[in-house]
Amino acid sequence: QTKDRKYIREYSLSPPGARVAANFRGEIVTVPAEKGDVRNLTNSTEVHDRSPIWSPDGKSIAYFSDEGGEYQLRIVPQDGKGKVVTWKLPGAGYYEFPVWSPDSRNIAYVDNSRTLWWINVAGGVSKKVALDHFYGPVKTLWPAWSPDSRWIAYSVSNESYIQRVFVHSIESGKSFPVTDGLSNASDPKFDRSGKYLYFFSSTNAGPANNWFTLENEENQVTHSIWMAVL
């Protein structure tokens, strides 16, 4: 109902756009775009379930659940029928920014210590990608998968508190810099062909990145869209 919309915290569209998965008052539900029934996939009023994401193949929905006292990753069939898979996650307790790989085999996520991970949903093994050097109000480690699911792009602050863009190889476990740290680069995204990487870059963000002081309050940060050929 219209009055209940304010209780929706997060949502994720199904690949064809026919339904949407949502965190509704700590439950994971799916709602049809036009015709059909609302499905409650969790039915756990005593548990906080959140951050639903629909797999690219349309078969599954992943989310975080604190049943048992600590957050874990759960994967449930989108129709609510079948086995629910639960994986214990490493890192620091609270997790966010889950993103499926395009082949629906892996999920990248970030923990509360600002560490970026990815997990294989078949085996449940998580591997560390990168760690933010500083804790600040702006979260930067938003993962972006390449179309072939072999790379994760991300931006992270260096020791000078300037964001740099990296790409991480799933196969080798190594990260490679795309930007040199002379400009503040953020929010990388692959194009559909996988040949290009787009990101924002700013050459005057340095003073404003020092968020703890008010001396830079009037500094107006500007950004441009940059592209790297991969």
For residues 64-80, give the mean pLDDT: 94
Q: What does pLDDT average to over the chain?
A: 92
Of 6-15, 129-138, 176-185, 187-196, where does mean pLDDT reach its minimum? 129-138
Maximal C-alpha separation, the chain? 57
175 C-beta neighbours (distance < 10 Å), count: 18
181 or 3, which is more confident: 181
Does residue 3 carry a pLDDT above 60? no
Mean pLDDT of 44-61: 95
- DSSP assignment string, 161-182: S-EEEEEEETTT--EEESS-SS
Q: Average pLDDT in the 149-167 region?
A: 93
In this prediction, residue 215 carries a pLDDT of 67
Q: What is the mean pLDDT of residues 78-96?
A: 93
Highest mean pLDDT among 1-15, 34-48, 126-140: 34-48
Quick one: average pLDDT of 101-113? 97
Question: Is residue 135's pLDDT more than 90?
Answer: no
Smallest Cα–Cα separation from 12: which of 46, 47, 58? 58
Instruction: Say what the pLDDT of residue 8 is.
Output: 85
Give the chain's end-to-end CA distance (angstroms, integer): 47
Euclidean distance between CA atoms 152 and 154, whole angstroms: 7
Categorize the per-residue pLDDT at 2 as very low, low, confident or very high, splitting at 50, 70 and 90. Answer: very low
The one-letter amino acid code at 43 reads: N
Q: What is the mean pLDDT of residues 153-162?
A: 90
For the ranges 10-24, 47-61, 90-104, 134-148, the lowest mean pLDDT is seen at: 134-148
